[in-house]
Amino acid sequence: MNLHKASLDDLLARAREFIDQEVIPREDLSRARDRDYLLTTTAQLRELAISRGLTSPRESPANGGLGLSWEDCCAYLEIAGRSFLGPGALQCAAPAQPDIALLDALVTPEQRQQFLLPLMRAEQRSCFAMTEPAPGVGSDPRMLRTSATRTASGWVLEGHKWFASLASSADFAIVVARTESGPSLFLVETTRPGFRIVRDVPTIEPFNLGGHGEIRLERCEVPAEALLGQEGQGLAHCQLRLEGARLFHCMRFIGMASRAIGMAQTYALGRESNGARLAEHQMVQAMVADAHIDLHAARLMTIDTARRLDAGESIRHHSAMVKVFVSEAVNRVADSAVQITGALGISEDWPLSMIQRTFRPFRIYDGASEVHRAAIAKRVFHQGLEA
Ligand SMILES: Cc1cc2nc3c(=O)[nH]c(=O)nc-3n(C[C@H](O)[C@H](O)[C@H](O)COP(=O)(O)OP(=O)(O)OC[C@H]3O[C@@H](n4cnc5c(N)ncnc54)[C@H](O)[C@@H]3O)c2cc1C
């Protein structure tokens, strides 16, 4: 539902106050890779957020959420995204949100009780395990190698996955595996024999709450009821997860990019060079102006796609365009923010270098820019789309 404007304004004001006064001050840059600190602090902030009525934006009020429309989510997630810890505190971090959307559309009543409801209540964590190291599936879904073989009582999974975000602290994984009918989804508890976390793959990202797990599935037996949705329809089902997930990333990262350029502006107003403040140098002004242009366009594209999702339209084409544009725009903005703030921007005394490293992977996950551009162009030529 779209909230009445006054209620939405009130919600956003409270969210902004919470993020600026409670969450950002708890960002300890020196502990950006300390998993215990990250999980404990986020859990504490989540409790505080819930006590202030700031909860999961998409979940229905009956399930303890705010029940916001996709359009209303844009502003809420932008505020959450201002802080590294904000999305976890306001329950709109990946991968929980897209996993909830996927499960909500596909689960049986038993799976709802066992997996979905605990996930919605943040009592359990999930991860999504599709990607495999070469020569397995990456950008091309046809390269899926992990197999699920039917047995008398269920399935046996065999395969090698990596980059499953949050895997090492997840209670269950949504595993994409190939059956005789094609790619299919399975709900697999991470404690099952044969499900082995090899390691967290080290990456450039700071404040990474859950890491990115490498997983071995070695004769991992699951019951017949572990199948999620229809056998052979796994890739179509994944679309349910991806489109909303991409949009959520765009919303959060617009907020973080806006914070970054705001910090750079403050620096430019206070720092002098060649007898003038940086803010008076035209080349610095151009970087700031371009950042504002990028963020304005990014916001409008995101809101437009969110409205289409609210209207029940297919957003396949638009979500690809918005994902490419926003992922590249926020990277440009962060790069300018670092450039304007010089050595301070590169340091870890300030969050700007960390923001830049947070954004870089977004040009790769949820579909690399090149893959989306190829798909956009294919649709344009096949369907004769006008710009
Ligand atoms: C931070 C992060 C989090 C992730 N989280 C998850 C997760 O939770 N679960 C999960 O399953 N996966 C996850 N992934 C994996 C992600 O989905 C893959 O990285 C992505 O699908 C690309 O696959 P790949 O890395 O194997 O790249 P490749 O498929 O090897 O592609 C490498 C590069 O080749 C180019 N390329 C590829 N195909 C084409 C093409 N058709 N046309 C033109 N150029 C092309 C692109 O530039 C691309 O970046 C995550 C990745 C990152 C970085």
The atom of ligand 1 lying closest to the CA of 208 is: 1
Residue 151 pLDDT greater than 90, yes or no: yes
**Is the per-residue pLDDT at 113 higher than 60?**
yes
* Beta-bridge partners for 156: 149, 221
**pLDDT interval class at 327 (50, 70, 90):** very high
Identify the architecture of domain 5-93 in CATH: Orthogonal Bundle (1.10)
Please report the pLDDT score of residue 241 as a whole number.
Answer: 85
| Structure-model confidence comparison of residues 2 and 332, the more confident one | 332
Domain(s) of CATH 2.40.110.10: residues in the chain: 126-232
In tens, the pLDDT along 200-258 reads: 999 999 999 889 999 999 999 999 999 999 999 999 999 888 888 899 999 999 999 99
Best probe residue, ligand 1, of 365, 366, 372, 376 (max atoms within 8 Å of C-beta): 365
- pLDDT score for 59: 84
Which residue's C-alpha comes closest to atom 52 of ligand 1? Answer: 365
Å from CA of 37 to ligand 1 middle: 29
Q: How many angstroms does the Cα of residue 368 sit away from the middle of ligand 1?
A: 6
The per-residue pLDDT for range 260-285, each reduced to its tens digit, is 999 999 999 999 999 999 999 999 99
CA atoms within 13 A on the CB side of 236: 8
pLDDT of residue 60: 86
Q: Report the pLDDT value the prediction gives residue 228, as an integer from 0 to 100.
A: 98
For ligand 1, atom 41, name the residue with the nearest CA.
371
- Average pLDDT of every residue of the chain: 95
Q: Which ranges constitute the DSSP H helices of the chain? A: 5-18, 35-51, 70-80, 86-89, 96-106, 109-111, 117-120, 234-270, 282-310, 316-340, 342-346, 352-359, 369-383
Residues across the chain: 387
CATH number corresponding to 126-232: 2.40.110.10
Percent of the chain with pLDDT over 70: 99
Residue 312 three-state SS:
coil
- Residue whose CA is at the smallest distance from ligand 1 atom 4: 163
End-to-end CA distance of the chain: 31
Cβ-contact 12, 76 below 8 angstroms: yes
For the CA of 374, the closest atom of ligand 1 is 42
**Nearest residue (CA) to ligand 1, atom 40:** 371
CATH 1.20.140.10 placement within the chain: 235-383
Of 210 and 375, the structure prediction assigns the larger pLDDT to 375
Centre of ligand 1 from the C-alpha of residue 96, in Å = 20
Q: Tell me which residue has its CA closest to atom 14 in ligand 1.
A: 163
89-114 average pLDDT score:
91
Choice from 128, 131, 235 to test ligand 1 binding pocket (greatest atom count within 8 A of CB): 131
Instruction: Note the pLDDT of residue 2.
Output: 59
Is residue 125 scored above 80 in pLDDT? yes
Counting atoms of ligand 1 from 1, which one is nearest the CA of 95?
A: 8
Point out the ligand 1 atom lying closest to the alpha carbon of residue 363.
49
Q: Quote the CA–CA distance of 115 and 154 in Å, as a whole number.
A: 18
Question: Which of the four pLDDT bands, split at 50, 70 and 90, describes residue 167?
Answer: very high
How much is the pLDDT for 63? 81
Spacing, Cα 138 to ligand 1 middle (Å): 5
Q: Whose CA is nearest to atom 51 of ligand 1?
A: 365
pLDDT of residue 322: 98
pLDDT digits (tens, 9 = 90+) for 41-66: 999 999 999 999 999 898 889 888 89
- pTM attached to this predicted model: 0.95
Separation of alpha carbons 146 and 195, rounded Å: 13
pLDDT of residue 5: 80
Cα-to-centroid distance, 361 and ligand 1 (Å): 9
> By percentage, how much of the chain surpasses pLDDT 90?
89
Contacts of 39 (CB under 8 A, 6+ apart): 169, 209
Residue 169 is encoded by which pair of tokens?
């602290």
Ligand 1 site residues (CB inside 6 A) read 95, 128-131, 138-139, 163-165, 212, 361, 364-365, 368, 370-371, 374
- Residue 58 and residue 65 in contact, taking contact as beta carbons nearer than 8 Å: yes
Reply yes or no on whether the pLDDT at 1 is more than 60: no
What does the pLDDT average to over 18-30?
A: 98
At the top level of CATH, which class does the domain 235-383 belong to? mainly alpha
96 pLDDT above the threshold of 90: no
pLDDT computed for residue 265 by the predictor: 98
Residue 3's pLDDT band (cuts 50, 70, 90): low
Q: What is the mean pLDDT of residues 275-296?
A: 98
